[in-house]
């Protein structure tokens, strides 16, 4: 971006202004999501030409489809989508149309960041945090072309944590304080690729000459002879080269390997998921998810429903409906854009000082008030202080404050996870730039949290690096191993690799140059060893200590961390009224028998949903009362005590109150209330929220339930009604 001036603003719209009823009716968005989409549309209208950058292809497609749909109705100008998965001809068509002024706005991924002439741009928008200073500069730098043109950018965020992060990145961008970058050192997969190319070109070249060729390239200036020999041995085993008397020759697979691996940038395969009962395509899964979770006989969730894998054949995963609601959920984000230690640490300083002078010029007045309100609410729980690490404990999870950046927390999370797993069994870990979240819901027993975290200070970084067990068991290691094995010719480019096959290959090649290369890549590019080492050292010296809190609810900080850790709601692909998911949901719901309980007389009875009509009043057949709740043993016990005028415990009072709320909903909404309360994952509060939307179309009411169920399945480890 050179010496160009930058004007950057961060906004967090929360209240809708306009009445785009389609956002509510067609896409079932909440008011915060509607407000964000509305603001984007306003900025498109206000500017002659604009680009909206998003961080992933899936977001571009999902958010883009909504904005394009609205542009066709409200005529605020043609909008197009641009990402690397589109055909080259389609991308060029969009670029040319934008340059000519035929398109008013483009929704794009990093595909438009660099090297493409798209003409003049008035404004660049960024949806969600840009995550990196360099990324924001490149993106906003697309605007303001011309003599002394000012680059203008607006970042639209959905959480206070994202706001603090984006404001910090905006400030660092203006000050040109970029992330540190360093050269790769001796990447063995790249060396393997180049050795095959050299063998193809020379068909007889000495190993010593190959070493000289490599030593002239910066990344390989200190390549060791034993490393080269290990690479040569692996390539020879795969018949990609032959080694004889100190010379490297072509192998039987050299040409085929070269053609399939001209680029060392890995292709990410996608697998079609097909329902064998209808022969219809349900969705697609990327290679990383398949390698980590999919085998014949496994279960996973797609489009909000569980599926059982029947067979896998030539890039197609054949499935049938499953009843396993605990199945694996695909992570559609792929690899996260990592927030650096420098950015996360700066955000940590803002949290500690509780003042925003550093970012004030780059955030809206409304957002400044939101952040002040956040600090005010957070202080009722705890304050962030230098030298302390707040740890929030809930029934099934632990949230550890750790503003070390994404790569450091990924590594630290693996270490902490290994300690907790050894203590209590299966633990799930989610790391963000500011916290590590441990889900203990699947553990065999409740972990001893204080004791387990105290063990951290005993870990030594050198021992961790030399003993690769913790890292080698990770999903990322498995995925990177497959990519690296392809560059060594062990796995064919288009081969289908399931978790079972991947694990066998990892065991087979443990300690090999491939295995070492994956570890080198992870420690260099995916795990921040330096700052984790500093963190562990501070624990050992006592300059850092844990503080434990158990409030029985989430603090504002924990809430914000969870909000920023996952997609905003408008990015979930909605169910449509004619979809197979809705049809299957209706079929499963209509045959259900619902157990009911009269809160007045305590009589228990049942109703079949298919036999009830919309608007029909549900009354107790014993006493005629309309105060009927769904049956739960806890409700029954509390109602019996009330009838006997016995004193209720605090928990029993809660159950009694909940049964009355449930009865109020059934009295007011009838069958719809029973359907909502019979849906897996929908509690009384969520049911009330959905019912109060008063959908005129019954199908849209059911869609609301399905979307709420999807949210529950995805977030159930964090939320408890």
Question: Under a CB-based contact definition with an 8 Å cutoff, are residues 134 and 337 in contact?
Answer: no
Query: Greater confidence, 60 or 665?
Result: 665
The residue with tokens 């340059």 is 99
Name the pLDDT band for 717 (thresholds 50, 70, 90): very low
Name the pLDDT band for 567 (thresholds 50, 70, 90): very low
Which DSSP state fits 444? S
Which tokens is 37 given? 């989409």
Q: Is the pTM of this model over 0.85?
A: no
Q: What is the pLDDT of residue 696?
A: 62
- Which residues pair with residue 52 across a beta bridge? 107, 125
Q: What is the pLDDT of residue 576?
A: 45
Strand order across the beta sheet in which 593-598 lies = 604-608, 593-598, 628-630
H runs (alpha helix) in 56-158: 57-74, 88-99, 133-140
Closest-CA residue to 166 (of 364, 355, 322, 415) = 364
Q: What is the pLDDT of residue 103?
A: 92
State yes or no: pLDDT of 695 exceeds 70.
no
Q: Averaged over 664-668, what is the pLDDT?
A: 90
Q: What is the pLDDT of residue 304?
A: 52
Q: What is the pLDDT of residue 713?
A: 60
Q: What is the pLDDT of residue 719?
A: 45
Angstrom distance (rounded) from CA 114 to CA 670: 57
Query: Greater confidence, 244 or 579?
Result: 244
Q: Which fold has domain 6-175?
A: Rossmann fold (3.40.50)
Angstrom distance (rounded) from CA 692 to CA 255: 66
CB atoms within 10 A of CB 77: 17
Q: What is the pLDDT of residues 381-390, one digit of tens each?
A: 999 999 999 9
What torsion do the CA atoms of 666, 668, 671, 676 make, to the nearest 10 degrees?
-60
Q: What is the pLDDT of residues 217-243, one digit of tens each?
A: 999 998 888 999 999 999 999 999 999
Query: Greater confidence, 209 or 468?
Result: 209
Q: What is the pLDDT of residue 591?
A: 74
Q: Residue 61: phi, psi to the nearest 5? A: -65, -45
Mean pLDDT of the chain: 85
Q: What is the pLDDT of residue 316?
A: 87
Q: Beta strand 305-313 with 247-250: parallel, antiparallel or unpaired?
A: unpaired
Distances from the Cα of 654 to the Cα of 152, 459, 637, 648, 660, angstroms: 53, 45, 12, 9, 10
Considering only 163-177, 290-304, 427-441, 593-607, which range has the smallest mean pLDDT? Answer: 290-304
Query: Greater confidence, 142 or 433?
Result: 433
Q: What is the pLDDT of residues 515-533, one digit of tens each?
A: 999 999 999 998 999 999 9
Angstrom distance (rounded) from CA 109 to CA 142: 13
Q: Percent of the chain at pLDDT above 70? A: 90
Q: What is the pLDDT of residue 579?
A: 54
Angstrom distance (rounded) from CA 248 to CA 121: 53
Q: Which fold has domain 188-261?
A: Arc Repressor Mutant, subunit A (1.10.10)
Which DSSP state fits 328? B
In three-state form (DSSP H/G/I as H, E/B as E, the rest C), the secondary structure along 145-214 is CCCCCCEEEEEECCCHHHHHHHHHHHHHHHCCCCCCCCCCCCCHHHHHHHHHHHHHHHCCEEHHHHHHHH
Q: What is the pLDDT of residue 577?
A: 44
Domain ranges of the chain: 6-175, 188-261, 270-327, 388-566, 592-717
């Amino acid at each position: 971006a050179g010496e160009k001036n930058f004007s950057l603003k961060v906004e967090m719209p929360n209240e809708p202004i306009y009445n785009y009823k389609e956002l509510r009716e067609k896409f079932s968005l909440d008011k915060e999501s509607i407000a964000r989409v509305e603001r984007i549309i306003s900025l498109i209208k206000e500017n002659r030409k604009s680009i909206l950058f998003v961080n992933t292809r899936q977001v571009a497609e999902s958010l883009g489809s909504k904005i394009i749909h609205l542009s066709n109705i409200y005529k605020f100008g043609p909008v197009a989508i641009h990402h690397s998965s589109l055909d080259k001809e389609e991308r060029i068509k969009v670029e040319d149309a934008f340059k000519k002024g035929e398109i008013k706005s483009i929704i794009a991924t990093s595909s438009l960041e660099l090297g493409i002439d798209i003409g003049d741009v008035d404004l660049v928008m960024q949806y969600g945090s840009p995550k990196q200073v360099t990324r924001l500069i490149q993106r906003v730098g697309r605007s303001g072309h011309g003599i002394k043109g000012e680059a203008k950018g607006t970042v639209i965020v959905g959480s206070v944590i994202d706001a603090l992060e984006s404001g910090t990145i905006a400030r660092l961008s203006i000050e040109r304080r970029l992330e540190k970058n360093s050269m790769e050192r001796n990447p063995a997969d790249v060396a393997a690729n180049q050795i095959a190319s050299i063998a193809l070109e020379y068909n007889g070249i000495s190993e010593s000459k190959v070493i000289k060729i490599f030593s002239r390239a910066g990344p390989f200036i200190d390549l060791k002879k034993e490393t080269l020999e290990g690479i040569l041995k692996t390539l020879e085993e795969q018949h990609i080269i032959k080694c004889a008397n100190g010379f490297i020759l072509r192998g039987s697979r050299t040409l085929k390997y070269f053609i399939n691996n001209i680029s060392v940038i890995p292709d990410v395969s996608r697998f079609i998921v097909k329902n064998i009962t209808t022969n219809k395509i349900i969705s697609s899964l990327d290679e990383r998810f398949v390698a980590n979770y999919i085998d014949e006989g496994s279960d996973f969730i797609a489009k909000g429903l569980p599926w059982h894998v029947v067979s896998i054949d030539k890039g197609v995963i054949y499935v049938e409906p499953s009843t396993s609601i605990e199945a694996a959920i695909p992570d559609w984000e792929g690899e996260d854009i990592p927030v650096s230690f420098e950015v996360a640490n700066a955000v940590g300083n803002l949290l500690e000082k509780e003042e925003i002078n550093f970012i004030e010029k780059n955030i809206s007045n409304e957002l400044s008030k939101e952040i002040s309100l956040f600090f005010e609410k957070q202080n009722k729980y705890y304050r962030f202080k230098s030298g302390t690490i707040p740890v929030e404990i809930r029934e099934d999870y632990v949230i550890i404050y750790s503003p070390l950046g994404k790569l450091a927390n990924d590594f630290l999370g693996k270490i902490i996870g290994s300690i907790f797993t050894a203590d209590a069994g299966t633990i799930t870990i989610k790391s963000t730039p500011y916290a590590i979240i441990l889900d203990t819901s699947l553990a065999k027993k409740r972990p001893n949290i204080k004791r387990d975290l105290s063990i951290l200070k005993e870990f030594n970084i050198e021992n961790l690096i030399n003993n690769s067990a913790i890292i080698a068991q990770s999903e990322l290691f498995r995925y990177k191993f497959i990519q690296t094995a392809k560059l060594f010719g062990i796995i064919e480019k288009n081969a289908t690799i399931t978790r079972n096959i991947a694990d066998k290959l990892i065991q087979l090649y443990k300690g090999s140059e491939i295995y070492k290369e994956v570890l080198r890549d992870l420690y260099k590019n995916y795990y921040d060893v330096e700052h984790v080492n500093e963190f562990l050292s501070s624990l050992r010296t006592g300059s850092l200590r844990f503080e434990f809190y158990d409030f029985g609810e989430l603090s504002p900080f924990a809430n914000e961390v969870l909000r920023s850790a996952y997609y905003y709601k408008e990015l979930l692909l909605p169910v449509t009224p004619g979809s197979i998911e809705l049809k299957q949901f209706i079929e499963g719901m209509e045959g259900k028998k619902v157990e009911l309980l009269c809160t007045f007389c305590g009589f228990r009875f049942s109703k079949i949903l298919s036999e009830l009509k919309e608007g029909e009043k549900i009354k107790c057949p014993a006493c005629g009362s309309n105060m009927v709740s769904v049956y739960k043993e806890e409700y029954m016990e509390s109602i019996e005590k009330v009838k006997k005028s016995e004193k209720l415990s605090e928990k029993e009072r809660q159950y009694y109150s909940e049964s009355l709320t449930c009865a109020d909903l059934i009295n007011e909404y009838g069958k719809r209330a029973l359907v909502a309360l019979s849906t897996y994952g929908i509690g009384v509060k969520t049911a009330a929220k959905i019912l109060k939307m008063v959908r005129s179309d019954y199908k849209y009411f059911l869609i609301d339930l399905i979307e709420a169920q999807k949210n529950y399945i995805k977030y159930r480890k964090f939320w408890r009604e």
